[in-house]
Amino acid sequence: MKRLFPRLLPLGAALFLVGLLIAFAGDSLIAKKVIAHLVMPAGILWLAGFAALFLPGIGKGLRAGMAGFWILYSLAGSPYLGVGLLGILEGPLRVHEQPEEALDALVVLGGGTAISPGGRPSLGNHGDRITRPSILFHEGLVGTLVTTGRSVTEDGVDRLLSEETSELWQGLGIPVDHILELSEPRNTSEELAAVADLVKQHPEWKRIGLCTSASHLPRALDEARKEGLDLVPVPSDFRSGSLIFSPMYLVPQARGFRDVQTALWEFLGRAM
């Protein structure tokens, strides 16, 4: 019996953690969500890592290293940390969600589109980049919409994000003569360099906005300043809304990994 107990300790520790999370769920609906997250790959690995901390025969140094890795994994997939980091980027931009004055032109960086199975442009994960400028146009707050970018990260011919955006805008009722496309740029710095050249061709544009995902906008504005552009921030695609306290958000999950990586990607981009 004494020999069996150490072998069962990892399993018991994992079951204890599961029971603790379910006990604090508060109701059956949240409890089901907790269980669902735990049986997903990220949740299973998290439980396995916690159980491994209680394996017998492991040295103190290795156990401490495993504990550190488990904590880092927990943070990397934490929706709470993701929202907190995104909030640092997005918080100062919340007051700019609605332009105070009309814009002669609004530059919209590529990245809000996807391609349907039938080959048609559709809204992607950052689709608010597409719909938000459209709404502002129909509200009379934008004169010309400028769409930029191409994707070079997929196999085959480059996707022209600017063309996809233009097609969606036209489907949303924006006249083609109010849309300009910049299809050559491949990243943010190239997009803003192309915008700087375009602005020189339109001296009548006095007030120009820049729209992209709110988390990406601080870095994009930095790039714009390097090109000598003073653009009005028009954020979209906010993702740092507040979360209720719930044990289901203590389990590492896709949302957490996505938001943490998105924020760290932007911090890294601004540091380079």
pLDDT for the residue 4: 56
**103-108 and 142-148 as β-strands: parallel, antiparallel, unpaired?**
parallel
* pLDDT at residue 246 tops 60: yes
Helices (H) and strands (E) in the chain, counts: 10, 7
pLDDT, tens only, 82-141: 999 999 999 999 999 899 899 999 999 988 888 888 889 999 888 999 999 999 999 999
> What residues does each domain of the chain span?
4-88+249-271, 98-236
CA angle 123, 265, 189 (to 5 degrees): 75
How far apart CA 48 and CA 14 sit, in angstroms, is 7
What tokens were used for 162? 């600017």
Residue 209 forms beta bridges with which residues?
Answer: 106, 232
CA distances from 76 to 47, 214, 218, 260, 262 (A): 15, 21, 22, 6, 11
Identity at 68, one-letter amino acid code: G
Main-chain dihedrals φ then ψ at residue 271, nearest 5 degrees: -80, -20
Give this prediction's pTM.
Answer: 0.88
pLDDT, tens only, 125-179: 889 999 999 999 999 999 999 999 888 776 656 788 899 999 999 999 999 999 9
**DSSP-based three-state secondary structure for 156:** coil
**232-236 and 179-182 as β-strands: parallel, antiparallel, unpaired?**
unpaired
pLDDT for the residue 3: 61
How far apart CA 163 and CA 172 sit, in angstroms, is 14
CA distances from 230 to 41, 127, 208, 233 (A): 45, 25, 8, 9
What CATH architecture is 98-236?
3-Layer(aba) Sandwich (3.40)
